[in-house]
Structure 1
Amino acid sequence: MLRYFLENNLLNITDEHPETWEEAIRVAGKVMKQDKLVTDDYIDSVIADVKKYGPYIVIVPGVAMPHSKADSEGVLGTGIGLTILPEPVSFDESDPDKSAKLFFMLAAKDNNTHVKNIAHLSDMLMEDNMIDDLSKVKNLDDYKAVMKKHNM
């Protein structure tokens, strides 16, 4: 799956330092907008969902999976983008486990594909040391080393 992000231009190793989780989601959305998978309406929908339901998108400490419903406004295609921030961003100041540095933004035109993408991503993240290895990525060479280490 790591190869998927690279080969589909859905990888963003950024030096941007968003100050809020809303800004972090917008930064994560850039790679999806660039690839014409979503519009700003979708990104706004993701932010609205987090405001309404809380930081459910932080699936484990350090990892966020921004997404909204498959039929959300602004979904143009199906895909997953990976944005690696230089520092974690907090979704809840009172809970240090609700911070993320790795943002896997999902978009899908149908619910079945949406669920499959979440499952594939979850499988990848459960590999030994995958989250730690990705969290240390600072540039494309680092990313390629992680791909090689995990045979992905």
Structure 2
Amino acid sequence: MTMLKYFYDNDLVRIYDKTPTNWREAINVASENLKEKNIITDEYVREVIKNVETNGAYIVITPGVVMPHALATGQGVLGTGIGFAKFSEPVSFEDGNPDKQGKLFFTLAAKDETQHLENIQNLMTLLMTDGMIDALSDIETLADFVQVMGQFENTPAEQRGENDG
């Protein structure tokens, strides 16, 4: 199962037409889908926010893409999962630095370090797919998400950068 299908099949896709006023609110909103599924608690969300306050905007993994997460052994993790949230406008994590803002949020939670690393690896594979970040950035509805999912599901593996060579 591809990551896009995983998000869709597990009801972990959220598309917002309103953008949060700051990064703390964005992390809270982007974490709602995992909280609804009892994968994380508010305690985990507080831990993620505390980590950003302490370590800076390390969760902005590339311009436009944010990966909120805390330690796999952290408090408030009830299960393993990744939630996807898309905001209409980028949220800034560092004033005046466009490289430290994003509107695609992939919130990670894992019960152990192995699952945490697998989540990150699967997410990186998804994001390295040619055109994926732009396609997800352009969606406005769940129907758009389904269309992107279909478009990339039907792309030969070699065009997605998944060749064995």
Does the TM-score normalized on the shorter chain lie above 0.5? yes
Residues 57-81 of structure 1: per-residue CA shift (max 9 Å, x gap): 0000000000000011100000000
Query: SS state of the match for residue 47, structure 2?
Result: helix
Aligned to 1:66: 68
Structure of greater Rg: 2
Aligned to 2:88: 86
Query: What is the root-mean-square deviation in Å for CA atoms of aligned residues?
Result: 0.8
Q: CA deviation at 1:14?
A: 1.6
Out of 25, 47, 50, the position equivalent to 1:48 is 50
1:146 paired to 2:141: no
Seq. identity, %: 49
> What TM-score results when the alignment is normalised by the length of structure 2?
0.90
Residue correspondence of structure 1 range 76-115 to structure 2 within 5 A: 76-115=78-117
Residues 6-40 of structure 1: per-residue CA shift (max 9 Å, x gap): 10011111223201000000001100100000000
Alpha-carbon separation, structure 1, partners of 2:153 and 2:101: 28
Alpha-carbon separation, structure 1, partners of 2:18 and 2:107: 17
AA in 1 matched with 2:31: G
Q: CA deviation at 1:3?
A: 0.6
Aligned to 1:119: 121
- After the TM superposition, which segments of 4 or more aligned residues of structure 1 sit over 6 Å from their partners? none
Count of residues paired in the alignment: 152
Alpha-carbon separation, structure 2, partners of 1:15 and 1:87: 8
Alpha-carbon separation, structure 2, partners of 1:144 and 1:20: 28
Aligned to 2:31: 29
Alpha-carbon separation, structure 2, partners of 1:11 and 1:144: 10
Q: CA deviation at 1:141?
A: 1.1
Give the gaps of 5 or more residues in structure 2: 155-165
Query: SS state of the match for residue 70, structure 2?
Result: coil
Aligned to 1:15: 17
